[in-house]
Amino acid sequence: MWQTIYTAGGATFAQTLKQWHSDGTEFENVAHDPEIGNICFGVWKQVGVRSVRLHHVGWLFDTTGTLTGSFTMDETDTMASNGMSYKGMFVFKTYNTDGAYSGTTVAGTIAATRITVD
């Protein structure tokens, strides 16, 4: 399990708790109000010795709980040689409820630290 910080334009874009699974799936819980959407699921594959590419998706809601669309987040991440952290790049895009790109794109960096029992 990982604590992940996404940064864009010099500011924190998101903080998350993330799990990577050996079957190529991923689960992420974002530190956002659940009413506006804070869960996403993804799929990943290895693309290098310690590098992976991830594509994940989630729903977006307004403050009344009405579905407003979806988002994608694409990442390329590289694990540190000690296995206790990783860094990467991300691109976040939003879509309307009809699936059309809404014009919002955010790109930035990722820094993650492994959460352990000890």
Domain ranges for the chain: 2-114
**What CATH architecture is 2-114?**
Beta Barrel (2.40)
Query: Region 86-98: what's the mean pLDDT?
Result: 97
Quick one: which of 105, 103, 73 has its CA closest to 90? 73
pTM above 0.85, yes or no: yes
Quick one: which of 91, 75, 108 has its CA closest to 6? 108
Question: What residues have CB less than 8 Å from 66, skipping those under 6 apart?
Answer: none
**SS3 of 65, please?**
coil
Length of the chain: 118
CB atoms within 10 A of CB 18: 20
Query: Region 51-69: what's the mean pLDDT?
Result: 93
Does residue 96 surpass a pLDDT of 90? yes
Quick one: which of 9, 12, 44 has its CA closest to 28? 44
Residue type, 46: Q
Which percentage of the chain shows pLDDT scores above 70? Answer: 100
Q: By the 8 A CB rule, do 91 and 63 touch?
A: no
Does residue 36 surpass a pLDDT of 80? no
